[in-house]
Amino acid sequence: MVTVIDHPLVQHKLTLLRRKETTTGEFRRLCREIALLLGYEVLRDLPLEPITIETPLERMQAVQVSGKKLCFISVLRAGEGILDGILDLVPSARIGHVGLYRDPATHEPVKYYFKVPEGMAERLCIVVDPMLATGHSAAAAVTMLKEAGARRLKFVCLLAAPEGLAWFEAAHPDVPVFAAAVDRELDDHAYIHPGLGDAGDRLFGTK
Ligand code: URA
C-alpha cells in the first residue's frame, strides 16, 4: 500500500528538487526538508510513554516519544539524504545502514554492508531511500531486515515508479510505503521519469 503525502509544502519542495537547475546545496537542503515533512506523517502513530515532569508551576504527568523503540535504516548511499531530515524529528532514534550493489551479471542486489541496532524485533523500523525505482534493492533491504528480526517496518521514499511499487508490494505486502509522488514510469536504465535524475549524484555532487 502506498500513501502519497500530498501536503502543498511537500509538493512545492518536490518541484524545486526535480528542477535540473537546482544546485547540490539546494538539493541537499530540500531533501532534508521534504524528509522532515514526510517523517511527520509517517510517524503519526508513534507510541508515547508517560513521564513525570515539573513545569515552573507544578508536577504533571506528561508524555514522550520512546526514541529507543524506533530505528531508522538508511539504504546507502542516497538514503543518507533523507536520514538527516527524519532524524531532526527524533534525534534519539537508533540508526542502521544497509549497503547494496547491483551484480553486473545477474542484476540482483548484493549486500556489501549491513549494520543495525540490537533488538530489531521490538523496534519500528523506518527504511529510507529516496528512489523506489525497480524496487529490487528496497525489497532486498527489507528482506535482510526481517532476517535480522524486524517485524514492523515502513518504507519512505521521495519518488516511486509504478513498476517498483508493484515489485515491492508483491515481496512485502505488510510494509507500507510513503512517497512524495508516484511518477509515470521507469526507462531502460531504471531511471524514474519524469523523476529528478540520480538522487545520489545530485546529493553528493558526484557525476
Ligand atoms: N535511482 C535514482 O537515483 N534515480 C532514478 O531515477 C532511479 C533510481
Task: Identify the CATH assignment for 2-51+60-204 out of 3.20.20.240, 3.40.50.2020, 3.40.50.300, 3.40.1350.10.
Answer: 3.40.50.2020
Instruction: Give the whole-number percent of the chain exceeding pLDDT 70.
Output: 99
Of 80, 186, 191, 203, the residue with max ligand 1 atoms within 8 A of its CB, to mutate for a pocket test, comes to: 191
Integer Cα distance of 183 and 192 in angstroms: 7
Q: Is 15 among the residues known to form the active site?
A: no
The model's pLDDT over 75-113, given as tens digits with 9 standing for 90+, comes to 999 999 999 999 999 998 999 999 998 887 777 889 999
What angle (nearest 5°) sits at the alpha carbon of residue 83, between those of residues 78 and 88?
A: 150
Per residue in 13-62, pLDDT tens? 999 999 999 999 999 999 999 999 999 999 999 989 999 999 999 999 99
Beta 185-186 vs 152-156: how paired, if at all? unpaired
Distance between CA atoms of residues 127 and 42, nearest Å: 11
d(CA 141, CA 143): 5
Sequence ranges of the binding site for 5-phospho-alpha-D-ribose 1-diphosphate: 77, 102, 129-137, 198
Which of 45, 59, 106, 188 is flagged as catalytic? 106
Nearest CA to ligand 1 atom 3: 198
Residue 67 is predicted with a pLDDT of 62
Q: What's this model's pTM, rounded to 2 decimal places?
A: 0.94
Residue with cell 521507469: 186
* Ligand 1 and 195: CB distance under 6 A: yes
- Rounded Cα distance between 16 and 30, Å, is 8
d(CA 71, CA 123) in angstroms, rounded, equals: 6
Q: What is the ipTM of this complex?
A: 0.95
Q: What is the pLDDT of residue 64?
A: 92
Q: Kindly state the average pLDDT of the residues 198-207.
A: 93
Longest dimension (CA), the chain: 68
Q: Output the 3-class SS for 66-132.
A: CHHHEEEEEEECCCHHHHHHHHHHCCCCEEEEEEEEECCCCCCEEEEEEECCCCHHHCEEEEECCEE
Using a 6 Å cutoff on CB, does residue 201 contact ligand 1? no
pLDDT of residue 61: 98
pLDDT of residue 135: 95
**Does the C-beta of 204 come closer than 6 Å to ligand 1?**
no
For residues 117, 108, 168, 89, the Cα torsion angle rounded to the nearest 10 degrees is: 30
Cα(189) to ligand 1 centroid in Å equals: 9
- Higher per-residue pLDDT: 118 or 66: 118
The pLDDT value given to residue 106 = 76
